[in-house]
Amino acid sequence: MKKLFYPLGMVTLLGFAALFLYFETEEIIQFDSQMAQLFGDNKVIVLFHYLGETKFIIFISLLLIAFLWFRSNNYRGMLFVVFTVGLGNVMNQSLKKWVERERPDVPQQLETFSFPSGHAMVGILYLFTIAYFLTEHQSNKFVRLLIWIATVFITFLVGLSRVAENRHYASDVLAGWMIGYTWFVLVAMWYEYRSRAFKKHTL
């Protein structure tokens, strides 16, 4: 994993903390309103919410676990998926219940809490995890770059779909991306540390 990713994880943690503390301020409320006007009811972006649905994420995660198992018996990689997606989802639900922020006031709104967005948080976790393993042994830098650019773009649209649907405030989505990325970095650091330790032990 690029060392640049590590300090960025600290930045996103601080960004999440700031949103956690100040999401009820006038500035954040105004930001949410502007984003809702900009992306609200965008029919194209709305379609990407399917990529953040729980059943779809579980299915893709199980496929990734099976792939890591059959390809190379990568048990640490399998734990990587469990930690990022599984524990990440538990973390998201716990944060929502802790903060108890109500969702936007629209007809037929969901009854669960809003902060941080699950689509944004778990979306970035499972998509970045897939990209991580697709590029782990990829020697072509251009291919690695393309994979990560595509991943970031899709992650962006999955999160924005919740604003387009009026299911979340933009600050919920931003918070989900930030804490999701931070958790992804922590798990990746653990994975890489254990991989290095295993290689040293087998030398």
DSSP string of 123-171?
HHHHHHHHHHHHHTT---HHHHHHHHHHHHHHHHHHHHHHHHTTSS-HH
Can you give the pLDDT of all 203 residues of the chain as single tens digits?
566 778 898 999 999 999 999 999 999 999 999 999 999 888 899 999 999 999 999 999 999 999 999 888 889 999 999 999 999 999 999 999 999 888 887 777 777 888 999 999 999 999 999 999 999 888 898 999 999 999 999 999 999 999 999 889 999 999 999 999 999 999 999 988 877 766 665 55
CA gyration radius, the chain? 18
Separation of alpha carbons 173 and 123, rounded Å: 10
Neighbours of 141 (CB within 10 A): 9
> Where is 55: in which H helix or E strand?
helix 54-72
Q: Using CA atoms of 102, 108, 112, 113 in order, give the dihedral in degrees to the nearest 10.
A: -20
**Per the confidence metrics, is the pTM higher than 0.85?**
yes
Neighbours of 156 (CB within 10 A): 17
Q: What is the structure's pLDDT at 134?
A: 92
Task: Look up the domain containing 185 and give its range.
Answer: 5-202
Work out how many domains the chain is built from and give that number.
1
Q: What is the structure's pLDDT at 192?
A: 86
Distance of CA 115 to the CA centre of its chain: 14
Q: What is the structure's pLDDT at 4?
A: 76
Q: What is the structure's pLDDT at 174?
A: 96
Q: What is the structure's pLDDT at 6?
A: 80
94 three-class SS: helix
Does the active-site annotation cover 168?
Answer: yes
Peptide bond preceding 104 in cis form (omega within 30 of 0): no
Distances (CA, A) of 196 to 151, 180, 191: 26, 24, 9
Neighbours of 21 (CB within 10 A): 9
Does the active-site annotation cover 119?
Answer: yes
